[in-house]
Amino acid sequence: MIYSRITGTGGHLPEKVLTNRDLEQMVETSDQWIRERTGIAERHIAAPDETTCDLAEPAARRAMEAAGVGPDDIDLILVATTTPDQVFPSTACLLQQRLDIHGCAAFDIQAVCTGFIYALGVADRFIRTGGARRALVVGAETLSRIVDWTDRGTCVLFGDGAGAVVLEASETPGILSSHLHADGRYEQLLRVPAGVSSHYDRLRAGEAFVQMKGNEVFKVAVNTLGRIVDETLAANALEKGDVDWLIPHQANIRIIQATARKLKLSMERVVVTVDRHGNTSAASVPLALDVAVRDGRVRRGETLLMEAFGGGFTWGSVLLKF
């Protein structure tokens, strides 16, 4: 039986930090409101000339270094992003070029905040069916580019960053299961209603922004993530309490706490970065994983549940032995 196993992690954040106090100068908000309603204290924002691929590259290099692999060892590159550098080539191909990797399949995955979970699920299927042996899986975003900095309902939430893992074929587990879902009927609750083939004028004018009915998204997110926890545990015949670490998408501390309660996990067993990173969309789960691996909390052999929910709506989970 072939499994896929994470052998290295990496992360990268842009240098500029935007605090809640900074946001108080930009919109009608307060540090207290943002902390209480979201758990966010600060987030990192890419410099004007810094692209998604600029963030992805150091994260990928760190993951490859941690795994002890070089450019010739990678035979699949997946980049989960909603904010690609260009219409094409894909950010995965741009990253491939930067890393001096040539010939292997490379493509982007667009599932907004669930993008990394989707990418990990796809890479796992490639590896288990013999289509690849060593994949570089990245979540990278410059979401600040599609945020309306005059809309206090959204601009306080998001940040930029990148996280990456190397996923390798292995005889020992590995990813135990992945669960990927979407339901497009919720489009109106969370979207950027502009793109290349619709409302291109907004894109050209730099007015393609996240629109979100936050309160309604919140309720669906909490219920849906509760269900994905049940689905994941049932698929692996596990009980609540068998999971060592929850590594959730970092959208809102209250959503994270609700999922932890569902799992009967104390918050000490939950990796939280939303306070320092905000919501970095597809980058949030691999960034959180990298933080917890590097500070020694997450250890080899432990059982990790990763989950995410985002625009689409999309949602999903990955259960793995680290």
Interaction between residue 281 and ligand ACO (CB under 6 A): yes
Interaction between residue 282 and ligand ACO (CB under 6 A): no
Residue 181 designated active-site = no
Residue 279 designated active-site = yes
Collapsing DSSP to helix, strand or coil, 236 comes out as: coil
Smallest gap from Cβ 156 to ligand ACO, in A, equals 4
Residue 252 designated active-site = no
In 3D, which of 206, 181, 171, 174 has the Cα closest to residue 192? 206
User: DSSP string spanning 164-210?
Assistant: EEEEEEESS--EEEEEEEE-GGGGGGEE----SSSSHHHHHTT----
Collapsing DSSP to helix, strand or coil, 74 comes out as: coil
Q: Which of 12, 44, 93, 113 is catalytic?
A: 113
Task: Supply φ then ψ for residue 290, to 5 degrees.
Answer: -60, -40
Smallest gap from Cβ 214 to ligand ACO, in A, equals 3
Site for ligand ACO, residues 290 to 309, rule: CB under 6 A: 309
Smallest gap from Cβ 66 to ligand ACO, in A, equals 28
Task: Show the site string, 92-121: x = touches ligand ACO by CB under 6 A, - = not.
Answer: --------------------xx--------
Q: Which of 12, 44, 181, 249 is catalytic?
A: 249
Beta bridge partners of 170: 3
Residue at token pair 């994949």: 135
State which residue, 126 or 209, has the beta carbon closest to ligand ACO.
Answer: 209
Q: Which residues contact 130 (CB under 8 A, 6 or more apart)?
A: 2
In 3D, which of 77, 40, 113 has the Cα closest to residue 281? 113
How far is residue 180's CA from residue 196's CA, in Å, rounded to a whole number? 26
Task: Show the site string, 260-279: x = touches ligand ACO by CB under 6 A, - = not.
Answer: -------------------x
Query: Where on the chain is the footprint of ligand ACO (CB under 6 A)?
Result: 29, 33-34, 37-38, 112-113, 152-153, 156, 190, 210, 214-215, 217-218, 221, 251-252, 255, 279, 281, 309-311
Active-site residue numbers?
A: 113, 249, 279
